[in-house]
Amino acid sequence: MAQFIADRRDVDFVLHDQFGVSNLSKHEKFAEFNKKTVDLIVNEARNLAIKEILPTRKIGDEVGVKFENGQITVPEEFKKAWEIYKEGEWLAMPEDLEYGGQGMPRLLSMAANDYFNGANYAFMMYPGLTHGAGKLVEEFGTEKQKKLFLKKMYTGEWTGTMLLTEAEAGSDVGLLTTSAKKNDDGTYSITGAKIFISSGEHDMSDNIIHPVLARIEDAPAGTKGISLFLVPKYRVNDDGSMGEFNDVVCTGIEEKLGIHGNSTCSLTLGGKGECIGTLLGEENKGMRAMFLMMNEARLLVGLQGFSCATSAYLYALNYARERIQGKNLLQMMDKDAPAVPIINHPDVRRMLITMKAYVEGMRSLLYYVAYLDDLIVVSDNDDEKERLHGLIDILIPIAKGYVTDRSFEVCSHAMQVYGGYGYIKEYPVEQLLRDCRITMIYEGTNGIQAMDLLGRKLGMKKGKLVMDLMVEIQKTITKAKGVAGLEEYAAKIEASVNKLGEVAMHLGKTAMSEKVLSAFAFASPFLEAAGDVILSWMLLWRAAAAAPQIEKKPKDASFYKGQVKSLEFFASSVIPISMGKMDAILNTNGAAVDIEDASFGG
């Protein structure tokens, strides 16, 4: 089943042929991560994913987590996989050795997580949320907080969560009512209730550390008055040992469509008045802290959606090669013609190449964002660091919003390839489609990602982020024009890039006019069009790296030819549709906002 997690050949291609990960070893920070070491780490990640994590996927879905008397138990198989995962020190791969990390490039850690999440992302939410909570401690914690919590979180001895959402404060966090009252010793008494808390309670670690958004008494209303607190399930003594229970009570779990292996909890804090937290960062700066960490969280959600898509594609591809059904279309009139594998049927091939192109482009995009982080680490130029940060900022809504939208589409195509078998639980794509759906919702719905792209990112630094991105895309186009056989596709993508720039300017101006509502009604279509163009850039980049290798490496010729075919398909069949979407955006019809509420019917 190894090939049904992530395609090793494609992972290697992105790491080595597209981004040249081992070149990072020229820098002191990553000196030990040469090609041999990179390949060894990927091997180990793949083996762990296949042998230990993948078997938990179906078990987690069917057995799920159990809630009783305020306690949650996970399947026993999760605990075994968790112990092996911890022993391998996989939780904080890119972080400093001082705190339990491995100091590896984020690009390499992305490849390892490609395998882990492809095996079972519901399981991987436990370490994923722990890492995110740990980053908050690392970035904003006092020296005491780091000493008490950070290494234990990064090594997985303790786990972590994020406590943001409340019943009346979902996407609008400013409405939260959880309160914090300062005590004489500088700690805070926390009171409130949170919902939809992934990994909020379980029995895989002795302690769970909760970063909690709350409002200090008399703080300003809205998001300006929100602070961030560190609230452990069990209090932590000054010597690092665990103290008494901290009045963080699980009151229930959600019965969800998918990700049944992860505990999505309702938590009550301070129900008995005994929940104590310490301030993480500055008073009233909690949302600022959360936004600084949002890029990592949203990139992770993009990877979660993608992990379902890449697995679903590989399952569908294997099924199409094995499932015998129907004659070859060219032999339909021959009564003696044998039935053939369904991969021979044109419509099945259309679905497969659609999935292939999206999966390949999305993998490159996610890895690219991680690679930008590595370039920031090795750069000693402040202006360059700022430019790279800007590229990450503008790509995050695409990496989360567009990628998860397309990932769900890929899962749907995979189910269609299976036909009726795909809709039943006996086959894996049914679970993958269900698990994938939440990624379009949490960590900021994809509509919010679209609003972020239009309302914040386009105008940041007077449009510099957009221009910097266009420059990067143009570099690839220029290179591809010099590769025999890619000239036509490079030209098509260049035209789409130019049109996207026109659309961005139009929509930006419209958003500043009296037609602001109409502009934001087209935020999601703009996100989709921008994602199409950026994915075509990734596919062009891949093809430009692959095409020269076709003659040089005949053993891998089919793989390299496949990269060019993915580009050909996307540039010829998807980008023309994207151009039509951009025409619609330029028209900016106001029907969606002008229609009277009563006219919707119902």
DSSP for 317-380 reads: HHHHHH-EEEE-GGGTT-TTPPEEEGGGSHHHHHHHHHHHHHHHHHHHHHHHHHHHHHHHHH--
Per-residue tokens: 551 = 């003659």
Residue with tokens 């590989």: 314
Collapsed DSSP state (helix, strand, coil) of residue 512:
coil
Per-residue tokens: 122 = 């519901």
Q: How far apart are CA 33 and CA 22, in angstroms?
A: 6
Closest alpha carbon to 547 in 475, 497, 492, 488? 488
Per-residue tokens: 437 = 């759906």
Determine contact, residues 413/355, Cβ cutoff 8 Å: yes
Q: Is 443 a catalytic residue?
A: yes
Please identify which of the residues 166, 296, 443, 568 carries the catalytic annotation.
443
What are all long-range contacts of 497-500, with beta carbons under 8 Å and residues at least 24 apart? 497/470, 497/473, 497/533, 497/537, 499/579, 499/582, 500/529, 500/530, 500/533, 500/582
Q: How far apart are CA 402 and CA 380, in angstroms?
A: 32
Q: How far apart are CA 138 and CA 130, in angstroms?
A: 12
Q: How far apart are CA 404 and CA 293, in angstroms?
A: 19
How many beta carbons lie within 10 A of that of residue 507, not counting itself?
A: 24
Residue with tokens 């910097």: 468
Determine contact, residues 94/109, Cβ cutoff 8 Å: yes
Per-residue tokens: 308 = 């379902």
Catalytic positions: 443
